[in-house]
Structure 1
Amino acid sequence: MDKYEVLKHYYGYDTFREGQEMLIDSILDGQDTLGIMPTGAGKSICYQVPALVMNGITLVISPLISLMKDQVGALNQAGVHAAYLNSSLSYNQYCLALNYARQGRYQIIYVAPERLTTEEFLTFAKEANIAMISVDEAHCVSQWGQDFRPSYLKIVEFIDQLAVRPVVSAFTATATKEVQEDIVQILKLRKPRLLITGFDRNNLSYQVAKPADKYAYVSQYVKNNPDKSGIIYCLTRKSVEEVSNRLQREGVAVTRYHAGLSDDERRQNQDDFIYDTKPVMVATNAFGMGIDKSNVSYVIHYNMPKNIESYYQEAGRAGRDGEPAECILLYSGQDVIMNQFLIDQNRENEALDFEALEVVRKRDRERLKKMIYYCMTTDCLREYVLQYFGEQGEPYCGNCSNCLVEFEKMDITKATTAILTCVQECRERYGITIILDTVHGSKNAKLKQYRMDQNTQFGILEDYTIAKLRQIMDYLLHHGYLELSVSQYPVVQLGELAEDYLENGGMLLMKVPLEQEKKTPKVTKKKAHSEKAIDDTLFEQLREMRTKIAKEEKVPPYLVFADKTLVNMCSVLPKTKDSMLTVSGVGEVKYERYGERFLEIIKAYVG
């Protein structure tokens, strides 16, 4: 089969998405290839399609067990023989899988990087006809990536030991220019063809909220969206437990995931989420990479992540089916302190020596600053993310919380002078709360203890609310008038622009929302799907059939058919096999397995 026949037969699509065909052609031409594509853009097809066209085995190097399990499950469901080799297999299972591989049963094999240089796998690889090695989540090879894994450095060592060097392809959703250069250099890609399809996901709306009560916000949002599946990310295990327990007591079908749970419980909870038994997942960032659940309608970050890359990747788990989805980040100053503490206590890269670890920490602190600025900016959030990854966006996207809010200009000259002078007089020794309490004239006992009640700026801004002063403080931090020290207990320091401002003065204006943010989210009910003129009754009947089949075959519902495919069925209303095969996502294999059962429902409904 050629690439088009493979696409239709196994995946049920008539055309490739943007960038996919160029990457596939590059691989089929025998060219090393690097693809930078956003989550949900169809990276896996870019190496799976050529793997099914080429003569030989494709090894896909992947960092997480969940990713491999999900991808292999989807391939087997589509009629492709595939397997994975990782620590989840017993020794006997591992040996059996290798024997099947030697017999040529698998066209695609997913393997953990740690397995590459083991004696058993090397023996197999040296004898096998390996047509391609594809490195998924390729940013893991770079110390400048947000998820550096020393085990990824074994990849080049492995390739160098093969008798014949295969085509090497690499894919990731998150790579700045430095990371792209690292991938090419460390993997020793030979004159690679690079394609960046763009980081924008038009179906995602981005929001930053600063509610006084985060839990109340989340609880209200989940209750207003009872029929939707979503992920709530928390920074700590303690927060995961607290949020999930409270939601459960309120009757929400919720589960949880963090590293403190047993392997069996994590596996069960993940399955409950994937199978839609419990459609709401509360988790730390230990959850999600490789989870290909297509119908996640929202991702809420209960705490600010430590960098833009992590946020982009985690938020990108929403709307993988192309349907409208919401990405909401709940920000508070405590998140900054917690992230700085986690960076200082970095235990993720214990294999690195002290100097290398300091380089990683310095890099992480800089990226944390960019994440904080994202939460503080009044400019377009989408444009901010795109510019971070080196892509030019529009100043107005119309689909983020900043673009959808009207702003006015507020004169903050007096407040700025007072805050900067206060910081200067106390010799940059205190944190945000002490500084703001001082200029506000608080009766806090600590102020007397620190003699801040004797500061010339004490009480000079008593007419301002603390909330407004925090807004101004955020602005000054974001725009370089102030900065926070990098330590377990950050103190406010004068920034690059402070000296000139204090000497020369000048008017300073800040954009502020015309209406203050409410404590609970304003929720607008959205349609369950994006296509027009779809009968919801038929859609629900098709979903019920999908759920029934999924339970019979013990697979996640989206592996039977994605929501988008069911929506397309409602639009096309097929009555024959040929018309059913025109539905996006229905290939020959899936039609033979399920097609008739869905046709019967549609024919009965149409009459």
Structure 2
Amino acid sequence: MSGLAQAEEGCIRKLTLSVSPIASTAQGIVISYGENHSSSLPCFFVQDISFPAQISQTGRSVPPANIPNPSKQDLEFFLKYIFRKERFWEGQYEAITRAMSGKDAIVLLPTGGGKSIAFQLTSMLLPGVAIVIDPIVSLIEDQIDNLRRVGIDRAIGITAQIEDPNVKSKIINAFGQGEYLFCYIAPERFQTEEFRGSLRSLTLSTPVSLIAIDEAHCVSEWGHDFRPSYLNIGRISRELCSSHNQIPPLLALTGTASHSVLKDVQRELQIQDFDSIITPKTFDRQELRYSVYEAPSDQKQNQLQTLLLRTLPDKFGTTGTSFFRSRGDRTFSGLIFCPFVNGDFGVVNIARNLNNTSIPAKFYSGGAPKSWARNTGSRDKSWNQHKRETAKAFKNNKSSLLVATKAFGMGIDKPNIRYTIHFGMPPSIESFYQEAGRAGRDRKKAECVLLFSVFDRERVEHILHPDTPIEEIVEERQTARENGADDDITRVLFFHTEAFVGVEDELSFVDILMKKLDKLSERRKITVVFGRENTKAWEKAIHRLVVLGVIEDYTINYSSKEFNIVLRGLDKEGIIHRYELYVFGYNKGRIKKELQKLQKHIDKPYNDFVREACRILIHFIYDTIEKGRRRVLREMFLLADSAVGKENCDEIVRERTLRYLESSRAEEIESVYNDESIFAKLQIVVRGSETSEGEMVHGIRSPRDAADMRGQVARYLESSPDHPGLLFLRAISEAYCSDFKFEVIFENLKAGVTFALSQYLLDKETVYKSLSWLLMDIAERKDTVCKKG
């Protein structure tokens, strides 16, 4: 194969790369690392040199490839050769083998668990371009920097940081020609027609090797980082990224995911295979040590200084004067997470106060602080440069302490962060775990500190109670701020009330959008100008109509501030069905009631019916997701409140965090064991239970969960070997394991039926009804068992 390299001043130099064929029947991909290579297949050339010019290839079209069941030894060879890592960490090998086999996967691994290797190594071994979707620019820049550190420079980030439209167009065009091995984008890029066009051009000659969705919890409306553009990834990627009738595998990566978030991710990304979910044995990070401190809001800055000058240096056996010195990889690097950019509790003010007390600190945030434009005269351009320089200095150990919003912390890979400090309450235990988990990635001791303030605990209970309406929470928060009674809970609720402004406010945007769209019942395309204000609110209104099936698709032209919308022309019955499917995904117990609400308006004119459907939908979202978010904030508060001031603080935080993130099986198994009717609790244990907010918790949701259940129920059967409920549970947990044995499933089912009829004297109808449900559940979720049986 050959290519043309364009150098400076328009001079074109020809660079020829040759391949000598030897085995015309060879199947697979040959990666050549020396001059004496020979194959009839395309080769990757991995060399420790840099060529200072762009190379455009003029080779033939390459089809996509799958490599089923690659050996672990072969993959570890490339892991070591390319990434200089000796062995796989937990979950990496399983994720890579699924992707290389062309299968989707949802990868839930602890923060610092090396999720990026899963798609990076796979992409290097498969032909084509990897598309990586990241939610924030700092994460994109960090991952590209990490690739360059191992010699991979054919990676590009197409972000808003590329301010010259001509440069951006050239990069997108080069992407369409297969110039890059890795293309990092924000999810919103999928909503632009220019990028969609480049995808179409790319797949004519170059396959998309895989699509990696980093921080995949952003897909879910249950997640605090939800972005509407994430919802289109599953559909668009399958439509636009396929080539030769083959769809590239999707790898959804996240540090943690609650049951509700996981179900959202599965539904929106269309990943339903039971074996696709890869979970760890434990989320426990033994190298991290947790501590919690409480201080009034006006004393938090003093407490922070004490932590930095005395408490933390003492824990690391050093002094406050030497704690902040740069020592290369031995630097005591630290992150302070702040909830805001501006104001008393913002990154700018906190960093300024620290520097005034001789604690050297830099600050970082996604958007430019208000003071930046006043001081520099240019807000965005110089701020983007400042962010890059600040991140680089911190990562290269030139500066040791960074005060940042989570715009920096999400996914940053810096091995020697020795401590994190949360200068405010995170919105959930998951957020706290992920952000604190930036520390100790080199598996060495690290400290994770939470510094929180509570003004009135009774007020906390009231505003976090599910019966308190969102409008009252807004008033409580404003009153607290006006009276100087703010605390961490009211401050974090600022973001909550920004996301949930109220049913009527959300509906007002839907009303304006519907007027602009006019005849909603007609299938057609229409352009809507949205201007510079409230872009997120407009997109959320569009998303509501997408959920109901009224809008089929939309793209965004950010330069002209336009939405290009495709109306589906769906009839009323179709809208009812779409809403039914949506409710089923969250709380199937409410389907009948919700459909009754909608049926009352079936005789209204089409547009009026759609408006009522939107009102009902938004009310449902507030009943489930809004209240659910407050519930997880309350769990975070209870964790902090239970641990503060306790000698065993680390143990309390660790246990409560792990109980929240992991499923403890003892209580579930006990419920089956102690159930007098034998089988009544079995379905709840297998499928999970529903909270008052409609969230599904517990249950067997992955092969790893099944393996945990299998091991624990086996211990119970040692003392009660004839219990029908435990025998059935043993059978179904065996069926859901990756290494299931059909004989074991059959033996336990047979024993369960026999003992139920002979020893427990249950009637046949009860036994066979439970057996039928169990077999149907296995058939729905694990068809490989049925085929083998």
| TM-score normalised per structure 1 | 0.61
Q: What's the CA shift for 1:112?
A: 1.6
Alignment partner of 1:309 is 2:448: no
Counterpart amino acid of 1:182?
A: D
Helix, strand or coil: the match of 2:414? coil
Q: What's the CA shift for 1:300?
A: 0.5
Q: Give the corresponding residue for 1:371.
A: 636
Alignment partner of 1:257 is 2:364: yes
Alignment partner of 1:85 is 2:357: no
Whole-angstrom CA distance in 2 between matches of 1:276 and 1:125: 38
Whole-angstrom CA distance in 1 between matches of 2:495 and 2:216: 24
Counterpart amino acid of 1:255?
A: K
Q: Spell out, residue by residue over 1:129-181, the C-alpha distance to the aligned partner (whole angstroms, 9 max, x if none).
A: 11211111111111112211111012123124224421111110020111111
Counterpart amino acid of 2:221?
A: Q
Q: Give the corresponding residue for 2:220.
A: 142
Q: Give the corresponding residue for 2:115.
A: 43
Q: What's the CA shift for 1:393?
A: 11
| Aligned mate of 1:34, from 106, 110, 116 | 106
Alignment partner of 1:189 is 2:271: yes
Whole-angstrom CA distance in 2 between matches of 1:285 and 1:98: 28
Q: Give the corresponding residue for 2:90.
A: 18
Q: Give the corresponding residue for 1:343.
A: 496
Q: Spell out, residue by residue over 1:384-433, the C-alpha distance to the aligned partner (whole angstroms, 9 max, x if none).
A: 11111234499xxxxxxxxxxxxxxxxxxxxxxxxxxxxxxxxxxxxxxx
1:478-497 maps to which residues of 2 (within 5 A)? none
Helix, strand or coil: the match of 1:287? helix
Q: What's the CA shift for 1:20?
A: 0.9
Whole-angstrom CA distance in 2 between matches of 1:359 and 1:133: 31
Q: For the structure 1 residues 14 and 234, does the alpha-carbon distance in structure 2 shift closer, same or farther, using more than 3 Å as the test?
A: closer
Q: For the structure 1 residues 340 and 104, does the alpha-carbon distance in structure 2 shift closer, same or farther, using more than 3 Å as the test?
A: closer
Counterpart amino acid of 2:302?
A: A
Q: Spell out, residue by residue over 1:358-407, the C-alpha distance to the aligned partner (whole angstroms, 9 max, x if none).
A: 6443222111110111112256211111111234499xxxxxxxxxxxxx
Residues 224 and 427 in structure 2, CA contact (< 8 A), matched pair in contact too: no
Q: Spell out, residue by residue over 1:563-597, the C-alpha distance to the aligned partner (whole angstroms, 9 max, x if none).
A: xxxxxxxxxxxxxxxxxxxxxxxxxxxxxxxxxxx
Helix, strand or coil: the match of 1:145? coil
Q: Spell out, residue by residue over 1:57-94, the C-alpha distance to the aligned partner (whole angstroms, 9 max, x if none).
A: 21111111111111112112212222222222232232
Counterpart amino acid of 1:330?
A: L
Alignment partner of 1:298 is 2:416: no
1:200-599 maps to which residues of 2 (within 5 A)? 200-211=284-295, 213-223=299-309, 224=320, 225-227=323-325, 228-236=332-340, 237-238=342-343, 239=345, 240-258=347-365, 259-261=367-369, 262-263=379-380, 264-265=382-383, 267=387, 268-333=389-454, 334-346=487-499, 350=537, 351-352=539-540, 354-355=618-619, 356=621, 359-378=624-643, 380-392=652-664
Residues 32 and 189 in structure 1, CA contact (< 8 A), matched pair in contact too: yes
Helix, strand or coil: the match of 2:184? strand
Helix, strand or coil: the match of 1:326? strand
Q: Spell out, residue by residue over 1:526-554, the C-alpha distance to the aligned partner (whole angstroms, 9 max, x if none).
A: xxxxxxxxxxxxxxxxxxxxxxxxxxxxx
Q: For the structure 1 residues 58 and 342, does the alpha-carbon distance in structure 2 shift closer, same or farther, using more than 3 Å as the test?
A: closer
Whole-angstrom CA distance in 2 between matches of 1:305 and 1:218: 17
Q: What's the CA shift for 1:260?
A: 4.5
Counterpart amino acid of 1:108?
A: F
Helix, strand or coil: the match of 1:352? helix
Q: What's the CA shift for 1:326?
A: 0.6
Instruction: Give the root-mean-square deviation of aligned CA atoms.
Output: 2.4
Q: For the structure 1 residues 159 and 345, does the alpha-carbon distance in structure 2 shift closer, same or farther, using more than 3 Å as the test?
A: closer
Whole-angstrom CA distance in 1 between matches of 2:641 and 2:272: 42
Counterpart amino acid of 1:229?
A: S
Counterpart amino acid of 1:235?
A: P
Residues 24 and 46 in structure 1, CA contact (< 8 A), matched pair in contact too: yes
Q: Determine which structure has greater relative contact order: mean sequence separation of CA pairs < 8 Å that are 6+ residues apart, divided by chain length.
A: 1
Q: Give the corresponding residue for 1:131.
A: 209
Q: Which runs of 5+ in 2 are unaligned?
A: 1-30, 32-73, 310-319, 326-331, 370-378, 455-486, 502-535, 542-617, 644-650, 667-789
Whole-angstrom CA distance in 2 between matches of 1:77 and 1:100: 23
Q: For the structure 1 residues 86 and 390, does the alpha-carbon distance in structure 2 shift closer, same or farther, using more than 3 Å as the test?
A: same
Whole-angstrom CA distance in 2 between matches of 1:241 and 1:152: 31
Q: Give the corresponding residue for 1:442.
A: none
Counterpart amino acid of 1:86?
A: T
Q: Give the corresponding residue for 1:568.
A: none
Counterpart amino acid of 2:229?
A: S
Q: Spell out, residue by residue over 1:442-468, the C-alpha distance to the aligned partner (whole angstroms, 9 max, x if none).
A: xxxxxxxxxxxxxxxxxxxxxxxxxxx
Q: For the structure 1 residues 341 and 56, does the alpha-carbon distance in structure 2 shift closer, same or farther, using more than 3 Å as the test?
A: closer
Whole-angstrom CA distance in 1 between matches of 2:399 and 2:247: 45
Q: For the structure 1 residues 51 and 17, does the alpha-carbon distance in structure 2 shift closer, same or farther, using more than 3 Å as the test?
A: same
Q: For the structure 1 residues 393 and 70, does the alpha-carbon distance in structure 2 shift closer, same or farther, using more than 3 Å as the test?
A: farther
Whole-angstrom CA distance in 2 between matches of 1:71 and 1:286: 14
Counterpart amino acid of 1:169?
A: L
Q: Give the corresponding residue for 2:196.
A: 122
Counterpart amino acid of 2:294?
A: K
Counterpart amino acid of 2:197?
A: T
Residues 138 and 407 in structure 2, CA contact (< 8 A), matched pair in contact too: no
Q: Which runs of 5+ in 1 are unaligned?
A: 395-607
Whole-angstrom CA distance in 2 between matches of 1:123 and 1:241: 41
Residues 337 and 405 in structure 2, CA contact (< 8 A), matched pair in contact too: yes
Q: What's the CA shift for 1:251?
A: 1.7
Q: What's the CA shift for 1:21?
A: 0.9
Whole-angstrom CA distance in 2 between matches of 1:323 and 1:51: 30
Whole-angstrom CA distance in 2 between matches of 1:173 and 1:288: 13
Residues 58 and 130 in structure 1, CA contact (< 8 A), matched pair in contact too: yes
Counterpart amino acid of 2:260?
A: E
Alignment partner of 1:176 is 2:258: yes
Helix, strand or coil: the match of 1:165? coil
Whole-angstrom CA distance in 1 between matches of 2:92 and 2:79: 11
Q: Percent identity?
A: 34
Counterpart amino acid of 1:131?
A: S
Q: What's the CA shift for 1:42?
A: 0.2
Helix, strand or coil: the match of 2:257? coil
Whole-angstrom CA distance in 1 between matches of 2:235 and 2:101: 24
Whole-angstrom CA distance in 1 between matches of 2:77 and 2:169: 33
Whole-angstrom CA distance in 2 between matches of 1:18 and 1:172: 14
Q: For the structure 1 residues 149 and 24, does the alpha-carbon distance in structure 2 shift closer, same or farther, using more than 3 Å as the test?
A: same
Q: For the structure 1 residues 393 and 38, does the alpha-carbon distance in structure 2 shift closer, same or farther, using more than 3 Å as the test?
A: farther
Residues 283 and 662 in structure 2, CA contact (< 8 A), matched pair in contact too: no
Whole-angstrom CA distance in 1 between matches of 2:392 and 2:251: 30
Q: For the structure 1 residues 330 and 88, does the alpha-carbon distance in structure 2 shift closer, same or farther, using more than 3 Å as the test?
A: same
Whole-angstrom CA distance in 1 between matches of 2:186 and 2:445: 33
Whole-angstrom CA distance in 1 between matches of 2:361 and 2:500: 30
Q: What's the CA shift for 1:205?
A: 0.8
Whole-angstrom CA distance in 1 between matches of 2:93 and 2:261: 24
Whole-angstrom CA distance in 1 between matches of 2:363 and 2:500: 23
